Structure 1
Amino acid sequence: MNVPDRKVAVITGASQGIGAGLVDAYRRLGHRVVATSRTISPPDDPDVLTVRGDIADPATAERLATAATERFGRIDTLINNAGLFIGKPFTEYTKEDYEAIIGVNLTGFFRITQLAVEQMLRQGGGHVVQISTSLADQASSTEPSVLASLTKGGLQSATRSLAIEYAARGIRSNAVALGIIRTPMHPGEDEALARKHPLGRMGEVGDVVEAVLYLETASFVTGVTLHVDGGRSAGH
């Protein structure tokens, strides 16, 4: 049943790791959640709606936004969590690498954010969050990452532009730039990865969730990139 006064969060890349943690966190806040990824399974929770698809395909964004408004009547928060990282020396990136990263990191952000902001404007407000990487601000000679910087750095700039464009209309826009987080991509405690952070450890999914929830409730904060990276963005 559509109860449009209950808040709704849309989360991309939501089948595991950070995305799955965010789904659980927003449910604990009392939000209904619309979650998407290429492999996501139907939930047992009636207040979670899953939409399977590749966010790099604009048709997935269309289905996602339609599902959110038809099932739950609104979109209050969009978390652009889906992301692809391929670390290679710049001259070794292939055309396929480029297209894959642009597809997920930029095209995947663009259409769903347009649709979510349109709905937020109809409602009178909302919040958009981009998940980025600290490598966009603090390059590393040991981690070649030009395509991550190109795409995620672009998202951080877009975050600020959205914040200013829609500040007077009740829509906030923020980003969270991550260090290396223990997820299915990095499942164990790796001493070499831990040493890349001045705090001496890898991040946890809970660290990211705490940051996003802070931004969710920080009504006077917009246009910021919050670094959740164990101090990496400050340098070594």
Structure 2
Amino acid sequence: MKTQTIIVTGASTGIGKAVASLFLEHGHNVVINSANRDNLAATYNELGNHDRLVMVAGDISKRATGQLLVDTAVSRFGSVDVLVNNAGVFEPRNFLEVDEAHLDYFLGINLKGTYFTSQAAIRQMLQQGEGSIINIGTVLVDHAIGGFPATAPISSKGGIHALTRQLAAEFGKNNIRVNAIAPGIIRSPLQAKTGVSDADSLAGLHLVDRIGETEDVAQLALYLAGSNFITGEVINLDGGHVAGHHIG
């Protein structure tokens, strides 16, 4: 894969950080984003390669943030070849306790952020004649778990899955590929934020009897970025979570 310019949202920790690190390792230019400026600055310093790395702090639920990411990538590196819409929030809450503010929180960051950042990127990709967008969804859209009430974030992620296929259809003739990765349980700071103190205790949800690592997601993102024939796919990266279950 030729040297490309990659935008990674939500890149200060977890999956986003692993994605940014792997693309840098392979010689690409990377623009990283997070709403938490301090965490983003720490990651920027840790990743190094500052001739190929730029940080842009900002709330991805704000349309202007997505446009700023694209403008920064173009002004610094000349293009936007890949957008990884990783920024997202997740929190379980009983359906009957969800109020409008709680729902809007997830729709704003997860769905609206992905939607308008993709819009800004696609405008640039159309000028370039090609591009790739990689969204981050969840296997829970297609494989609900009783006892884990999370209708608000899962509804927003379901919208991302639908958006992925629709954008692939609308812009396939323009050589713009749009895919999504639907992770299972991944070892990341997100687990603690959702109240899971021991992520490995959930290994049994996966046929491979282990949870995933952030590097697993990063490797798939790198592959999708380099592929010119995969589009419209929501790929379960879940150790067999959706495919089946163990007995006992």
* Band the TM-score falls in, shorter-chain normalisation: over 0.9
Name 2:191's counterpart in structure 1: 186
Quick check: 1:146 aligned with 2:151? yes
Name 2:214's counterpart in structure 1: 205
Name 2:174's counterpart in structure 1: 169
Matching residue's letter, 2:208: L
* Count of aligned positions: 232
Structure with greater helix share of residues: 2
The list of structure 1 runs, each at least 4 consecutive aligned residues, that deviate by more than 2 angstroms after superposition, is 185-192
Quick check: 1:36 aligned with 2:33? yes
Pick one of 11, 26, 38 that aligns with 2:8.
11
Question: Relative to 1, partners in 2 of residues 1:235 and 1:91: Cα closer, same or farther, differing over 3 Å?
Answer: farther
Shift of 1:200: 1.2
Q: Name which structure has the greater RCO, CA cutoff 8 Å, separation 6+.
A: 2
Contact 2:212 2:238 in 1 (8 A): yes
* TM-score normalized by the length of structure 1: 0.93
Contact 2:85 2:114 in 1 (8 A): yes
Cα deviation 1:45-82 (Å, max 9, x = unaligned)? 22100001110111211221111111111100000001
Cα deviation 1:139-190 (Å, max 9, x = unaligned)? 1112222123311111111111111111111100000001110012237753
Shift of 1:95: 2.4
Shift of 1:6: 4.2
* TM-score normalized by the length of structure 2: 0.88
Contact 2:90 2:190 in 1 (8 A): no
Q: What's the C-alpha RMSD, in Å, of the aligned pairs?
A: 1.6
Matching residue's letter, 1:22: V
Name 1:128's counterpart in structure 2: 133
Matching residue's letter, 1:190: A
Name 1:137's counterpart in structure 2: 142
Pick one of 203, 220, 224 that aligns with 2:229.
220
Cα deviation 1:34-53 (Å, max 9, x = unaligned)? 11001211444221000011
Deviates more, 1:77-86 or 1:182-191: 182-191
Distance, in Å, in 2 between the alignment partners of 1:92 and 1:235 is 31
Matching residue's letter, 1:13: G
